[in-house]
Structure 1
Amino acid sequence: MKLYPIQAGNFKLDGGAMFGVVPKSLWTRTNPADANNMIDIAARCLLIEDGKRLILIDTGMGDKQSDKFFGYYNLWGDDNIDKSLAKYGFHRDDITDVFMTHLHFDHCGGCVKWNADRTLLEPAFKNAHFWSNQKHWDWATKPNRREVASFLEENILPMQESGQLKFTGLPESDLLENSDLGFDIFFANGHTEKQMIPIINYKGKKICFMADLLPTAGHLPLPFVMGYDTRPLLTLDEKEKFLNLAADNNYYLFLEHDAHNEIITVKHTDKGVRLNETFSCESILN
């Protein structure tokens, strides 16, 4: 098995929205804001090469939306999936599986693209299965009023219409071991229903793709919960459980949205679980 970080692009989000009720004077210590209160956000995906399978976890926003849409998110840098795949000798047509932690637009928008003459939306990975789970799919395709702006039909339905959609199993508790993709999955419901957090056994380490359970290193304190979360009190419990496991077992936490910290470990302190060490993807995944 080999792991590769895949950069799907960078953008900015409102710092207040990213930290909910936490005062700006606290969250700016780790996530400084610009004059418009926006903080740097990454879309750092992960590619797993395992035998004949090439599994991509999340795909970023993609590029099919309007200039007006992208104008809300202050895109910066020149990273994209194609360039990042090519760096490691791959093409999007090589991808056998796309695993979606959840179906918010900044995690799955890159799953779907326009065809050549922009008349039809189609899967952006023509040879891949797209993986979600039944409960989250139902939640996303019949969205509540709070999340309706994050679950966009054009990002989601073409995967089903193409016949390429598959569902993982659902666990009796919160952990699915030995999933169809070859890694364990922790299910978290605070951010959205049945978000999936992959836990990958790799060279004697556990690499955890944190998605929106832990967006950035600045979100380590338990009360630092995003305003986007649908059930923030549940997020508190899920973060506490997962971070305690991570500190106890020296998990390596792969941060999808932290533009400046790629992989971290955590430790127990008298203030709770806090940052231990920070690593580059190159130093851990090579």
Structure 2
Amino acid sequence: MKLYPIESGNFKLDGGAMFGVVPKSLWNRTNPADANNMIDMAARCLLIEDGDKLTLVDTGMGDKQSEKFFGFYYPWGEHSIDNSLKKHGFHRDDITDIFLTHLHFDHVGGAIKRNKDRTGYEPAFKNAKFWSNKDHWKWATEPNAREKASFLPENILPMEESGKLHFLDRKENEIYTQAKEFDFGVLFVDGHTDKQMIPHIQYKDKTLVFMADLLPTAGHIPLPYVMGFDTRPLLTLSEKEKFLKKAADKGYYLFLEHDAHNEIITLKNTEKGVRLDKTFTFNELFN
């Protein structure tokens, strides 16, 4: 197995929304805001090369939405999936599987593109299967009013229409499963959105955890630092507490999808609770 970080593009989000009830005077220390109260965000995906299987975990926003849409998210930087894949010697047509932690637009948008004559939509990775889970798919395709703006039909329905949509095999009420379809474990969490999937990958004698929106940035480590976007913030609080303690105790390496300035971190136990220990670039840790 080999892993590669894939940068799909940077953007900005409102800092207040990203930190919920936490005052700006606190979160601004770790995630400084600009004049519009926006903070830097990444859409850092992960490519897993395992035998004949080439799996991309999440896909970023993509580029098919309108100029007005992207105007809300202030894209910045030069990153793109194609350039990042090319850097590692791959092309999007090489991808065999797309593993989607959840179906919010900033995680799934890049999976689907407009067709050639711009009359509809088609898979952006023509040779790939798409992976979600049944519970989250139902949640996303029958969205509540709070999340409806994040579950865009043009990002989701074309996967099913393509005939390439697959669901991870999971027993009812199972919180953690060793995915038989992939060589990694999956933790299911419900605070941010229903049945978000958090991959746990054993790699070079380390446990690397793809954090998705369970821990968006290193600034979100303190327990009350919960996003305003989360549908069940008190559940996020509980899920975070259990996970962060386990991560600190077991020495997990946390791969941060949304932190524009920290790729991988470790945690430690302190008198004030679990806190940041060390930060790494992917290359520092694994090359």
What TM-score range do you get, normalising by the shorter chain? over 0.9
Does 2:129 align with 1:134? no
Instruction: Note the C-alpha offset of 1:247.
Output: 0.5
- Superposed structure 1 runs of 4+ greater than 4 Å apart: none
Matched residues in 1 for 2:88 and 2:108: separation?
Answer: 22
SS of 2:26's equivalent?
Answer: helix
1:261/1:280 contact within 8 Å kept: yes
User: Match of 1:186?
Assistant: 187
User: Match of 2:26?
Assistant: 26
Instruction: Give the counterpart letter for 1:244 in structure 2.
Output: K
Instruction: Note the C-alpha offset of 1:174.
Output: 1.1
User: Match of 1:87?
Assistant: 87
Instruction: Note the C-alpha offset of 1:173.
Output: 3.2
Matched residues in 2 for 1:205 and 1:65: separation?
Answer: 38
Structure 1 segments unaligned to the other structure (5+ residues) = none
1:4/1:285 contact within 8 Å kept: no
Write out aligned runs for 1:97-112 (5 A). 97-112=97-112
Instruction: Note the C-alpha offset of 1:178.
Output: 3.7
Write out aligned runs for 1:24-63 (5 A). 24-63=24-63
1:191/1:212 contact within 8 Å kept: yes
Matched residues in 1 for 2:174 and 2:186: separation?
Answer: 11
Matched residues in 2 for 1:270 and 1:280: separation?
Answer: 27
SS of 2:277's equivalent?
Answer: strand
Matched residues in 2 for 1:196 and 1:282: separation?
Answer: 25
Instruction: Give the counterpart letter for 2:154 in structure 1.
Output: E
Does 2:149 align with 1:123? no
User: Match of 1:219?
Assistant: 220
Q: Deviations over 1:216-269 (max 9, x none)?
A: 000000000000000000000100111111001100000000000100000100
Q: TM-score, normalised by structure 1?
A: 0.99
Instruction: Note the C-alpha offset of 1:150.
Output: 0.1
Q: Number of residue pairs matched?
A: 286
User: Match of 2:201?
Assistant: 200
Percent sequence identity over aligned pairs: 71
Instruction: Note the C-alpha offset of 1:58.
Output: 0.3
Instruction: Give the counterpart letter for 1:235 in structure 2.
Output: T
Write out aligned runs for 1:248-267 (5 A). 248-267=249-268
Answer with 142-151 or 178-187: which moved more: 178-187
Task: Summarize the Cα distance change of 1:277–1:38 in structure 2 as closer, same or farther, 3 Å threshold.
Answer: same
2:193/2:230 contact within 8 Å kept: yes
2:169/2:179 contact within 8 Å kept: no
SS of 2:202's equivalent?
Answer: strand
Instruction: Give the counterpart letter for 1:87 in structure 2.
Output: K
Matched residues in 1 for 2:83 and 2:138: separation?
Answer: 33
Q: Deviations over 1:179-209 (max 9, x none)?
A: 3111100000000000000000001100000
Structure 2 segments unaligned to the other structure (5+ residues) = none
Q: TM-score, normalised by structure 2?
A: 0.98
Instruction: Note the C-alpha offset of 1:169.
Output: 1.8
2:5/2:47 contact within 8 Å kept: yes
Does 2:30 align with 1:4? no
Instruction: Give the counterpart letter for 2:210 in structure 1.
Output: F
User: Match of 1:113?
Assistant: 113
Matched residues in 2 for 1:144 and 1:120: separation?
Answer: 25
Matched residues in 2 for 1:179 and 1:136: separation?
Answer: 19
Q: Deviations over 1:37-90 (max 9, x none)?
A: 000000000000000000000000000000000000000001100000000110
